[in-house]
Each structure stands twice: as C-alpha cells, then as structure tokens.
Structure 1
Amino acid sequence: MAYIADLRSQVGHMPLILTSASGALVNADGAVLLQARADTGDWGFPGGYMEFGERFDNTVRREFKEDAGLAVEPVCLLKILDNDQYTYPNGDAVQPVNAFYLVRQVSDQHFSVKPSETVTTRYFTLQGRPPRFFNHQHEKMWAILNEYWTKKHNVK
C-alpha cells in the first residue's frame, strides 16, 4: 500500500484508476470463501490493489494470503472488470480495473491475516449470498462466479 499512499499524498481524494486482483476460492461443498472487510464490515472476495511492478496473478496470491491467510494459485481468469467507480469512507475515489480469478488452495498452512483489512472469513453457498457486499463490483463478481460454476457443474 506504500505506492497508493504515496500517490494519494500527491493527489488527495482525486479519482484514480487503480489495478487490482481478486479471487474466488470454492471448497469441495461448492461454497465460496469471502472476507468481512475491516474498513466497512461488508463482505467481499479476497483481493486488493497491485503494488508497483506486480502482475495480476501475483497480486491475487499476495492478497489472498493477507486477506484470508491462505496460499492460493490462480486456476483461470473469470473476468476483467473495469466499469465501476467507488468512493471509500475516507473520500478516496477510484475506478478499479480488477482481474477476477478462480483460485485453488495450494497448502494447508494458514497465515496471519491483516487485522486492518479483514475481520473474519467465512464460506457461503452460492445460493446463500451474504447480506451486504462491499460494492457493486463484488456483486458482479458473485454473479460471474455463479454463472461459471453453474455451467461448469451443470447446476440448475
């Protein structure tokens, strides 16, 4: 976050286009892992903004470890989302360009999550969406995952 903090120190709350990556981890029961965010309390897919010089796939790995305490690998890119805007509670306005991946867990090892970013994590069935999503982009990701999973597994 040093990159974004440095940038914000120069531009204040001015709208920025920022790149990010998020992931959907679906367990053997077909439930997806979400994080309760520390900044808003809303639910969302683990993920976050790129650091300078990072690639999307490395960003989702790093962010999953920070947000959910799990080591993952991208399985496939589900979608690039680029048409949403959001203003954080502190007034920072962004248009995130987000690479949304299906990921798989690669280790049973658990890492400490950043308490400044994650309150808790929990699995939700694809039919039992959480009460509040972080923003419209996370709602779109939920729909994208549902459509992908339904087609892949012939779920009706």
Structure 2
Amino acid sequence: MADYIHEVRQLVGHRPLILNTAAGEVLNDQQQLLLQERTDTGDWSFPGGYMEFGESFEDTCRREYLEDAGLQVEPVRLLKLFDKDFYTYPNGDQTQLITALYLVKVIGGHELDHVTNETQQVKYFDLDNLPKLFNDQSVKMAQAVIDDVEANR
C-alpha cells in the first residue's frame, strides 16, 4: 500500500498522528556520518522516513535509504528507538515520531548525485562538525551515533 501517510492525511488533515519511521547510520572510513539535505526545509537529517503499511522497521530503513540516499543498505543492529519526539511540519502536519535508528552497512547502489523530491544532496560530515539538523529527534539521533562510536573505540 504505497503512500499510506498521504492517504491517512487526506482523511485527518493536520491533526496529530503517531507515526513510525526508520533511519540508518552510515559512517565512512574517516568516521564521518552520511546525511541527507532535505528539500522541504533545507535542513539535514538521517536518510529514512515513514513506514508504509505492512512494512517492518528494517524494511522501511532499506527502502527509505535507497530513496533518500541512493544506497542499498542492510540493517546490522538497532542503535536506539526514539519514541517521544514531536514535530510540526511546515505545512502544519503534527506528529509524534517513533523512530528506529539502525547501524547499517552499504551493500550496493551509488550515493545520489541529483536532486529528488525529498533530497537536495547527500554528504558526509565530521561528527564534531554537523550541519543544522532537521529537528530535535535528529539531534538526539546524532548524539546516539556519537555515543556509539565513542563506546566502540
């Protein structure tokens, strides 16, 4: 059932919704984090997005990473589940985002080299010099990555 969120939004408008999302963390050999520059706000976020009806968190992570970053990934392990973050989109949609953040490994594809409807560009950043992130949850996710990297040195 493609585009599940848009169908639900047509029924409920901008009212608050609890939505499930999944995202992935990819680090290059220099321990830099791959982020996506969003077309809707111009901020940066982890490649990822909303779960479609019938998907698992891991399925969502795979699909969204390919759509947002051009890369085929395989989830390796769940880094953290974020379940109490709220965001109102520029169009007025209110959400409580429940996001599964995975450490993923790249198994194919190529980093996007063109603009899509959701991605301006993808780029690697040093963990101590991240750009303006999309929302509070993205900031928490970045901190979870930093904590994980430090714990596994």
Same fold, TM-score > 0.5, yes or no: yes
Corresponding residue number in structure 2 for 1:133: 133
Number of paired residues? 151
RMSD of the alignment, in Å? 1.3
Deviation sequence 1:8-45 (CA, Å, 0-9, x none) = 11100000000000111011110110000000000000
Consecutive unaligned residues in structure 1, runs of 5 or more: none
Query: Any conservation in 1 of the 2:26–2:106 contact (CA below 8 Å)?
Result: yes
Corresponding residue number in structure 1 for 2:123: 122
Separation of aligned partners in 2, 1:31 and 1:2: 32
Deviation sequence 1:25-67 (CA, Å, 0-9, x none) = 0111101100000000000000000000000001000000000
Separation of aligned partners in 1, 2:106 and 2:29: 11
Separation of aligned partners in 2, 1:66 and 1:111: 10
* One-letter identity of the residue aligned with 2:39: A
* One-letter identity of the residue aligned with 1:35: Q
Structure 1 window deviating more from structure 2 (49-58 vs 121-130): it is: 121-130
Corresponding residue number in structure 1 for 2:151: 151
Query: Any conservation in 2 of the 1:67–1:114 contact (CA below 8 Å)?
Result: no
* One-letter identity of the residue aligned with 2:137: Q
- Alpha-carbon distance, 1:111 to partner: 7.0
Q: Runs of 4+ in structure 1 displaced over 6 angstroms?
A: none
Corresponding residue number in structure 1 for 2:79: 78
Corresponding residue number in structure 2 for 1:6: 7
